[in-house]
Structure 1
Amino acid sequence: MARDRQPSRHRSRLIASSVTALALGGTLLAEIPVSAAGKPRGHDVSSHQKDVNWSKARSKGARFVYVKATESHTYLNPHFTQQYNGSRKAGLIRGAYHFAVPNKSSGKRQAAFFVRNGGGWTGDGWTLPPALDIEYNPYSKKKKCYGMSKARMVNWIKAFSSEVKRLTGRRPVIYTNTNWWNKCTGGSSAFAADHALWVARYNTASAGQLPGGWTYWTIWQHDNSGRLPGDQNLFNGSLAQLKRFARG
């Protein structure tokens, strides 16, 4: 994923899941991990991608997308409307994500800001549940966990999740990577039972070891570039299952 408060600064990304091995031949090997062949393709975008050509993305295989809506309790993606509404008009199942900056304000406050500014949900079959992007701090190399203890980080995520659930009726998808999760939450298994995992692990044949408690991934971000705009994702199931996941 990308934080994009300042377009000139560096980017950071994340996601999650598990797979059944399938044979795959030809040039696709460079684009999709062998173990995930046949799963619905998706991607995620932020202001870095600006106004996206959605009909072109769909023609290249996109079936779902997550669009960055907000960051912390102040930032709004200026391209959100074009990206979120445009992807739906092109026939993609789409959802919104929030980039967490836990040391700036409470989980409850950031969740409320997110839901007010694009992070809502409706069971129409076209809207993915809201997603929380929580990962290494892009603003400080020294404070990778935002200067927070493991227990405090877990409580922050719980507060964000509870407020999203109260406001939308859905638990947020959690986007993260295993290294960050182990380091910054102590490998907490508090969320695996009722939060879908979106795991980030690039250029590998599988999603690898998952964060604490999760036994499978729902979405796997397997690369940060490819045929689709933004980061490249796969859904761990069929297109029909993706639609059921959207409906809730």
Structure 2
Amino acid sequence: MPVHRSGTVRRPRLIRHFPAAGVILAALSLLFTLPTAAQAADTPARGSASMGMGVAEHDGQGGLPTGDQATQTEGVDTSSHNGNVAWSTLWNSGVKWAYVKATEGTYYTNPYFAQQYNGSYNVGMIRGSYHFATPDTTSGATQANYFVDHGGGWSADGRTLPGALDIEWNPYGAACYGKTAAGMVSWIRDFVNQYKARTGRDAVIYTATSWWQQCTGNSSAFGTTNPLWVARYNTDPGELPAGWLYYTMWQYTSSGPTVGDHSKFNGAYDRLQALANG
């Protein structure tokens, strides 16, 4: 605002002659700031992301599998949102495998990891852990190391699945984390290469086809090395990302009766054991 030589604040001429204009201008200013405030309020807290967080929003939620797929094996994935999981109930309902969120970025570990990871194992399930990627915070190799150091390792016990990289819509900002398609492919490559160097296993890649097309340019770089876990909440898995001729797992709903996220392993139980064994 302009100031008189005397040091007093001088109100704009419009407000001096028409006092009501000041009220109108203040209201307009508040109106134009509201969307930004609302967007900030809608942004979840760091660490709260889980598998499929953006799938229903971006791809929609359709029907359940039609039952005409080949022999498949039921599984679930869990995070801190699920708290202490009733693993015996899930086992008795036919769930035979589970993936548990271990880490996110390099700043978060799941406080329920031990109950979920060990609990699923103790009832007889084959289980693994997953990392929610945040490519805008640190490098792929750095996050792979953090994952392995905080529950993402692998052991040849016949009951442990290779770790999974959850790479999908950014719940905290821009969908592609501010990266070009080439930059995203490079980040993913750094992660899976470092994970294999640490564990000897190729990480599973969890993603949705629409995100993969948008944010990697539909890269075919990983189809021959990394098992695909595709997310699509509908009656079939639909189009797969480039490079993969088939999916290893398909997350088909976030509305399961006990734990929301349910998936099908694309094969009988013995093939699931083979994946665990490497």
3-state SS of paired residue (1:199): strand
TM-score by length of 1: 0.87
- The 3 A distance-change label for structure 1 pair 228 and 13 is farther
Corresponding residue to 1:221 among 242, 248, 251: 251
User: Contact (CA 8 Å) 1:219, 1:236: kept in 2 or not?
Assistant: yes
Corresponding residue to 2:229 among 173, 198, 218: 198
**Are residues 1:176 and 2:203 paired?**
no
Corresponding residue to 2:135 among 97, 102, 113: 102
Q: Which amino acid aligns with 2:53?
A: S
- The 3 A distance-change label for structure 1 pair 231 and 4 is farther
3-state SS of paired residue (1:165): helix
The alignment covers a number of residue pairs equal to: 227
Corresponding residue to 1:12 among 15, 30, 53: 53
Corresponding residue to 1:189 among 209, 215, 220: 220
User: Contact (CA 8 Å) 2:46, 2:172: kept in 1 or not?
Assistant: no
Alignment-derived partner of residue 273 in structure 2:
243
User: Contact (CA 8 Å) 1:62, 1:228: kept in 2 or not?
Assistant: no
Corresponding residue to 1:35 among 24, 45, 68: 68
- The 3 A distance-change label for structure 1 pair 95 and 6 is closer
Report the alpha carbon displacement of residue 123 of structure 1 after superposing the two structures with TM.
1.6
Report the alpha carbon displacement of residue 38 of structure 1 after superposing the two structures with TM.
4.0
Alignment-derived partner of residue 54 in structure 1:
87
Alignment-derived partner of residue 234 in structure 1:
264
- The 3 A distance-change label for structure 1 pair 6 and 121 is closer
Report the alpha carbon displacement of residue 225 of structure 1 after superposing the two structures with TM.
1.6
User: Contact (CA 8 Å) 1:177, 1:201: kept in 2 or not?
Assistant: yes
Of the two, which has the highest radius of gyration? Answer: 2
3-state SS of paired residue (2:96): strand
What is the 5 A alignment of 1:151-166? 151-166=182-197
TM-score by length of 2: 0.78
Q: Which amino acid aligns with 1:159?
A: D
Q: Distance in 2 between matches of 1:189 and 1:12?
A: 24
3-state SS of paired residue (1:225): coil
Higher helix share: 2
Report the alpha carbon displacement of residue 228 of structure 1 after superposing the two structures with TM.
4.1
Q: Bigger relative contact order, structure 1 or 2, given CA contacts below 8 A and separation 6+?
A: 1
- Give the root-mean-square deviation of aligned CA atoms: 1.9
Q: Distance in 2 between matches of 1:127 and 1:68?
A: 14
3-state SS of paired residue (1:94): strand
Q: Distance in 2 between matches of 1:233 and 1:13?
A: 16
- The 3 A distance-change label for structure 1 pair 228 and 38 is farther
Q: Any gaps of 5 or more consecutive residues in structure 1?
A: 15-29
- The 3 A distance-change label for structure 1 pair 6 and 218 is closer
Deviations 1:15-58 (A, max 9, x none): xxxxxxxxxxxxxxx75432336411001000000000111110
Deviations 1:80-113 (A, max 9, x none): 0000001000100000000000000000000000
Report the alpha carbon displacement of residue 231 of structure 1 after superposing the two structures with TM.
0.4
Q: Distance in 1 between matches of 2:165 and 2:186?
A: 14
- The 3 A distance-change label for structure 1 pair 174 and 31 is same
User: Contact (CA 8 Å) 2:47, 2:108: kept in 1 or not?
Assistant: no
Of stretches 68-77 and 224-233 in structure 1, the one that deviates more from structure 2 is 224-233
- The 3 A distance-change label for structure 1 pair 52 and 103 is same
**Are residues 1:82 and 2:115 paired?**
yes
- The 3 A distance-change label for structure 1 pair 222 and 75 is same
Q: Structure 1 segments of 4 or more deviating over 4 A?
A: 6-9
3-state SS of paired residue (1:122): coil
Alignment-derived partner of residue 129 in structure 1:
162
Alignment-derived partner of residue 151 in structure 2:
118
**Are residues 1:44 and 2:85 paired?**
no
